[in-house]
Amino acid sequence: MSVGVNTETVAAAGPGRHRRPGDKGTGRARGVLRRPGTWLSLAWITVVVLGSLFASVLAPHDPLDQDLRSIYQGPSGTYWLGTDSLGRDVLSRLMHGGALSLLGSGEAVLVALLIGIPFGLLAGYRGGWADAVISRIAEALMALPVIIILLAVVAVYGRGFAVSMGALGVIFSAAIIRLVRATTAAVRSELYVDAARVSGLRAPRIVVRHVLPNVIAPVLIQSSLTLGTALLIQSGLGFLGLGPQPPAPNWGAGIAEAATAINQDAWLMVPTGGVLVLTVLAFNFLGDALRDAAPAGRGAAATGRFFGHRALPADSDAAEPADDGVLLRVRGLVVSFPEDGGGDQPVVDGVGFDVRPGETVGLVGESGCGKTVTALSVLGLVPGAGHVAEGRILFDGADLARMPEKRLAAYRGKRIGYIAQEPMTALDPCFTIGSQLVEPLRRHRGLDRARARARAVELLGLVGIPRPEQICRAYPHQLSGGMAQRAAIALALTGEPDLLIADEPTTALDVTVQAEILDLLRSLQAELGMAMILVTHDLGVVADICDRAVVMYAGQVVEEGTVDQIFTAALHPYTRALLRSTPEREATAGPLPAIEGTVPLPRDWPAGCRFAARCAYATEACSAAPVPMLVRDPAPGGPRAARCIRADSWKAVDHERAAGAV
């Protein structure tokens, strides 16, 4: 009997903080409704409720009618579910007992809601002492031994369910209070509530307009689960003989009677327990379905692929020779994610670039262009159900995309290091910095614990952390963002990798800290000679630290070249427009030259040039067919290429327009 209602799982269905534009909450709700289980549950509950409420009309027999000649009969045409020890019809007894059970559970839930919702709202919205007092009382209620208390209530107020179920409702109200309080507090901290306050809305209006709608879904879920729990507890009391006086039927007592007669007629256990199990199951199932339908519902399902990248099948094409001094060569990379309606949607579409030893390549682009997914696919760490669908990822001559997980794992950390964007969440909060460094150090370098510890301190010193011995013993939450990022860099360096992949390593940091981290990466690179892929949206960061830049737009590479080429002589209209729209470049007053429109979502990608819709220079030819990368003079600084049909005549176009404008 699960008396402790698990609020924490329900609270997850509260208001979602960051829903992305692509989210399809309504689609998910429809999916839940389409599940057969949802309908089966609803149908079962309807049948039970109607059958119980109209038992006096619908029941085939009088529940108290004894027929001592036909005791312990199995199911038959006359007695659909058989008869009990006194020859009474089991089905009719279940139907008549059901009304009592359902009303009692309903009473408990109703009482819980009537107490829980107002007090939860008050505690969550007001905060302060009201919250302190209400939360303490709820906490005390949740610490009550429910069954014992109910027994005591029965002892005082006598048999029957009316009082005891009311008392159960009071105890259950604690779970509702906690849930409503948590949801309300979460909504209360949303900026749209602040905006409503600034707009002059009064507190009751804000609660009705913004808070209550958010509270309804989790409360519904909790109510459904609580109904099931109340039903179980109530039948427990009935089983103990604490329901109404004996000849009157109730579900729990029915099981008790069946239990005493189990040696004569085991069948009796099936209908008496079955109706209870199925009803509770239906309530639980509905609760789960509601939770899944809620916008910020359950989220991850076990995909079973957290711990393995899906390797492409090996092919006969011999890998390109790696002796041209390229460390990483990505060619024709396609990364796809499964769509809701079935099928795969590529989000990275034919990406290719090279990284040579010791050089820093910037993967630049706005959000949603596929730069992070590209970088993670090199490590075989594409998030969720995404996977590399095509292409080659040649690292040191070996194709990582076709490598089984076991072999690829040996590359992670040892040959290829990784730094994440958000330093405060990139380190395990439950372990000290030292122990997180020691683990890979022992694995990669085969050091014993003491040596690994010494090396960890050394690495922390190397990344510019003062008092490294002390930081070694610290937990991540005790560090500032800049310090945590230094520690994360030290973690990435444990295997002394040849290639470091840094995914927006400074985006979450203050600008003065960013400058220091970039300096650190620069000096580490000079010292250790590793190559680096820097994923960033910040053109200033690219200019500061990169040798070459790969500009991405809508899943494709649109331009590639050295940073000097990219920043002084960009070939692609997107690169040019991006550069001009940064306020750093435009010191004079007046409007910034913005790019109108937005980056198209993967499902809206056009067949032709993906930037055409926003491009000032687009012609019909741009949208006619996919635009290939035009590679220009392979210069000593690496490939120079752009995906624009005018890449070669770009300068001429620019001059024409300038002339026309005058």
Build a one-symbol-per-residue string for 17-36: x at contacts with other proteins by CB under 8 A, - elsewhere.
xxxxx-x-x-----------
Q: How far apart are CA 529 and CA 547, in angstroms?
A: 14
- Which residue type, as a one-letter code, is found at position 628? P
User: 331 phi and psi, to 5 degrees?
Assistant: -135, 130
- Which residue type, as a one-letter code, is found at position 139? E
512 binds other proteins (CB under 8 A): yes
Residue 600 CA to its chain's centroid (Å): 23
295 binds other proteins (CB under 8 A): yes
| Whether 465 contacts 471, CB under 8 Å | yes
Build a one-symbol-per-residue string for 46-85: x at contacts with other proteins by CB under 8 A, - elsewhere.
----------------------------------------
User: 229-262 in b/e burial notation, b at 16+ Cβ within 10 A?
Assistant: bbbbbbbbbbbeebbbeeeebbbbbbbbbbeebe
Residue 469 CA neighbour count, 13 Å, CB half: 1
* Cα-Cα-Cα-Cα dihedral sign, residues 175, 173, 190, 210: positive
Min dist. Cβ of residue 213 to other proteins (A): 6
526 binds other proteins (CB under 8 A): no
Build a one-symbol-per-residue string for 299-338: x at contacts with other proteins by CB under 8 A, - elsewhere.
xxxxxx-xx-------------------------------
In this complex, which beta carbon is closest to other proteins, that of residue 114 or of residue 144?
Answer: 144
For residue 102, give both structure tokens. 């359902």
Contacts (CB under 8 A) with other proteins, residues 186-205: 190-192, 194-202
Among 45, 48, 492, 618, binds other proteins (CB under 8 A): 492
Q: How far apart are CA 285 and CA 210, in angstroms?
A: 28
| Whether 79 contacts 91, CB under 8 Å | yes
- Which residue type, as a one-letter code, is found at position 81? L
Among 429, 446, 636, 660, binds other proteins (CB under 8 A): 429
User: 333 phi and psi, to 5 degrees?
Assistant: -70, 125
In this complex, which beta carbon is closest to other proteins, that of residue 61 or of residue 125?
Answer: 125
Window of 50-58, 100-108, 206-214, 322-330 that interacts with other proteins by CB under 8 A: 206-214
Build a one-symbol-per-residue string for 409-428: x at contacts with other proteins by CB under 8 A, - elsewhere.
xx-xxx-xxxxx-x--xxxx
Tokens 């379905």 map to which residue? 289
| Whether 347 contacts 556, CB under 8 Å | no
288 binds other proteins (CB under 8 A): yes
In this complex, which beta carbon is closest to other proteins, that of residue 290 or of residue 426?
Answer: 426
Contacts (CB under 8 A) with other proteins, residues 126-155: 136, 139-140, 142-149, 151-155
Among 6, 76, 264, 470, binds other proteins (CB under 8 A): 6
Residues 6 or more apart whose Cβ sits within 8 Å of residue 487 = 423, 427, 433, 437, 460, 463, 465, 471, 476, 479
447 binds other proteins (CB under 8 A): no
Among 407, 585, 655, 657, binds other proteins (CB under 8 A): 585
Window of 11-19, 59-67, 71-79, 654-662 that interacts with other proteins by CB under 8 A: 11-19
In this complex, which beta carbon is closest to other proteins, that of residue 399 or of residue 544?
Answer: 544
Q: How many residues in the shown chain lie near other proteins by CB under 8 A?
A: 171
In this complex, which beta carbon is closest to other proteins, that of residue 52 or of residue 514?
Answer: 514
For residue 647, give both structure tokens. 């890449």
Tokens 């072999």 map to which residue? 407
In this complex, which beta carbon is closest to other proteins, that of residue 61 or of residue 418?
Answer: 418
In this complex, which beta carbon is closest to other proteins, that of residue 74 or of residue 332?
Answer: 74
Build a one-symbol-per-residue string for 562-581: x at contacts with other proteins by CB under 8 A, - elsewhere.
-xx--x---------xxx-x
Among 313, 325, 446, 466, binds other proteins (CB under 8 A): 466
In this complex, which beta carbon is closest to other proteins, that of residue 159 or of residue 331?
Answer: 159
Build a one-symbol-per-residue string for 243-282: x at contacts with other proteins by CB under 8 A, - elsewhere.
------------x--xx--xx--x--x--xx--xxx-xx-
User: 302-331 in b/e burial notation, b at 16+ Cβ within 10 A?
Assistant: eeeeeeebebbeeeeeeeeeeeeebbbbbb
Window of 185-193, 312-320, 340-348, 626-634 that interacts with other proteins by CB under 8 A: 185-193
379 binds other proteins (CB under 8 A): yes
Compute CA distances 321 → 314, 404, 454, 499, whole Å. Answer: 17, 21, 40, 19
